[in-house]
Amino acid sequence: MLVTSTLNDFLSTLIESINYGINDAMKESIEANSSVIFVASRIYLNLRCSIDYDRDNATIMITPSNATVSNYYDRGNESLIRITLTPIMVASYGKA
Amino acid sequence: MASSSTSGSAIAQELASAPFDEMIKNLLLAMVAAQNEANAAFIKGIEDLANEEVKIRYKKRTGSSGEGTGSSGEGSGSSGEGSGSSGEGSGSSGEITISGNALAFGILPTMLQIQQGVIEVKMAITMERRTESALGVKAKASLRFFSVSVDARYSNTYSYKAEASSYIRIQVAPAPPPQPLMKLIEKITQDNPLQIPA
């Protein structure tokens, strides 16, 4: 089954997933009393996908590229979303 | 188009193998594990060098007269300063042995720290929509991402071109643990001081 999502949901879920991943990694490093932790100073994402406009709901829909989408629906390779994420520590919010 | 449902479900299985957040977490933890292994290897290196006995023998020329020097002293063992066994009265030279462990000779293991790392993974992303419903609450659909790395097996099995894949590049840098944890580590160190014999 082809699963598509609105661009808004897609991006917010993506950022949420990355946040979970980074936080869990930090938590586990701390729990393991590691002498050093590794922080992701920058994350670049190049997402191959199909982007369509859903006229009924007046929203942008996205279908990320993968084998199922490519082989069974012949889609997923037309568009590219480039995202660069930089983690900001909570204590640094609002500071220049 | 799909010819059978089996191959379709096989792809679904493959894609469902790694939640996206797990992938990111495991990539970062792999760096931590690698650094910890390097630290452990450094400590093991100290132990190995401490147990590595080194002996250096050389002949000391005492002059051109050809007179024997006789015994010049006994080896002092681990300090590395011993003058060693004597010459055998050969007249012009005596054999000297300097012994000690490798550390005493100034051979130290190398401490390596990952200063910066870049992890780049070609991957394919798939989404799963999960509907959570509760009594009296409107059903809420939530998305979940799964990722699979696009390698030769994936590419060949599903005739999926690597150029069509997405990629993630994570720049990582080491950071000291948070301040409260550093204080805890210092406390543990103070409570367990090094036992150095006199």
Confidence of residue A89 (pLDDT cuts 50, 70, 90): low
Q: Using a CB-CB distance cutoff of 8 angstroms, which residues of chain B are in contact with residue A66?
A: 15, 124-126, 148, 160
Packing angle, helices A7-31 and B20-50, rounded to 10:
20
How much of chain B exceeds pLDDT 70, in percent?
Answer: 71
The residue-averaged pLDDT of B137-141 equals: 61
A13-51: burial string, b at 16+ Cβ within 10 Å, e else: bbeebbebbbebbbebbeeeebbbbbbbeebebbbbbbe
Position B2 scores a pLDDT of 38
What does the mean pLDDT of chain B come to? Answer: 77
- How close is the nearest chain A Cα to the Cα of B21, in Å? 4
B87 plus B123 within the same structural domain: no
Measured in whole angstroms, the distance separating CA B172 from the mean position of its chain's CA atoms is: 16
Residues B23 and B121 in one domain: yes
Q: Indicate whether B81 belongs to any domain.
A: yes
| pLDDT tier for residue B98 given thresholds of 50, 70 and 90 | very high
Asked whether residue B189 is domain-assigned, the answer is no
Separation in Å, CA of B140 to nearest CA in chain A: 13
- Examine the domain organization and report whether B121 and B68 are in the same domain: no
Comparing C-alpha atoms, which of B45, B172, B156, B155 is closest to residue B107? B45
CB contact under 8 Å between A72 and B1, yes or no, is yes
Q: Which amino acid is at B81?
A: E
Residues B90 and B131 reside in one and the same domain: no
Q: Are B24 and B66 contained in the same domain?
A: no
Say yes or no to pLDDT of B130 above 60.
Answer: yes
- Give me the amino acid identity at B50: A
Domain range holding A50? 5-91
How far away is chain A from the Cα of B53, in angstroms, using its nearest Cα? 31
Over range B81-97, report the average pLDDT. Answer: 58
Given B105, B121, B137, which residue is the final one in a domain? B105
What is the number of domains present in chain A? 1
DSSP letters for A50-71: EEEEETTTTEEEEEE--HHHHH
Question: Which span out of A34-38, A85-89, B97-101 was modeled with the highest average pLDDT?
Answer: B97-101
Provide the whole-model pTM: 0.71
Closest-CA residue of chain B to A68: B11
> Which of the four pLDDT bands, split at 50, 70 and 90, describes residue B136?
low
Domain presence at residue B77: yes
Beta strands B53-61 and B93-101: pairing type? Answer: antiparallel
Domain assignment present for residue B120? The answer is yes
pLDDT band at residue B169 under the 50/70/90 scheme = very high
Provide the 10 A C-beta neighbour count for residue B27. 19
Strands (E) across chain B are located at 53-61, 93-101, 117-134, 137-149, 166-175
Residue B169 near residue B118 (C-beta atoms within 8 A): yes
| Within a domain: B25 | yes
Q: Quote the CA–CA distance of B74 and B157 in Å, as a whole number.
A: 72
Q: What is the pLDDT of residues B20-75, one digit of tens each?
A: 899 999 888 988 888 888 889 999 999 999 999 999 999 888 765 544 444 444 44
Q: Are B98 and B76 in contact (CB under 8 A)?
A: no
What is the predicted pLDDT for the residue at B42? 92
Nearest to B32 by CA among B109, B111, B117, B149: B117
In terms of domains, do B121 and B153 share one?
A: yes
A52, A77 Cβ separation under 8 angstroms: no
Instruction: Name residue B31's amino acid.
Output: M
Please calculate the CA angle B124-A11-A94 and round it to the nearest 5 degrees. Answer: 135
Q: Inform me whether the pLDDT recorded for A77 exceeds 70.
A: yes
Q: Is B87 contained in some domain?
A: yes
Q: Is some CB atom of chain A closer than 8 A to the CB atom of B121?
A: no
Q: Does A83 fall in a domain?
A: yes
Q: Which range, B103-107, B128-132, B194-198, has the best average confidence (pLDDT)? A: B103-107
Residue that is written with structure tokens 């190995």 in the block: B48
Whether residue B169 sits in one domain with residue B144:
yes
Chain B CA closest to residue A66: B124
Cβ contact, residue pair A10, B127, below 8 Å = yes
Same domain, B76 and B118: no
Q: Which position has the higher pLDDT, A84 or B93?
A: A84
Read off the pLDDT of each residue in B115-137 and give the average, rounded to a whole number. Answer: 81
Q: B67 and B160: one domain?
A: no
Task: Give the total number of structural domains in chain B.
Answer: 2
Residue B148 identity (one-letter amino acid): V
The interface pTM score, or ipTM, of the predicted complex is 0.82
B23 with A21: Cβ contact below 8 A: yes
Q: Is residue A96 part of a domain?
A: no
Q: Is residue B88 part of a domain?
A: yes
Q: Quote the DSSP letter at residue B62.
A: -
* Closest CA–CA distance from residue A57 to any residue of chain B (Å): 17
Range of the domain at B122: 9-45+111-174
Would residue B2 count as lying in a domain? no
Can you tell me whether residue A33 is helix, strand or coil?
A: coil
Please tell me whether residues B40 and B116 are part of one structural domain. yes
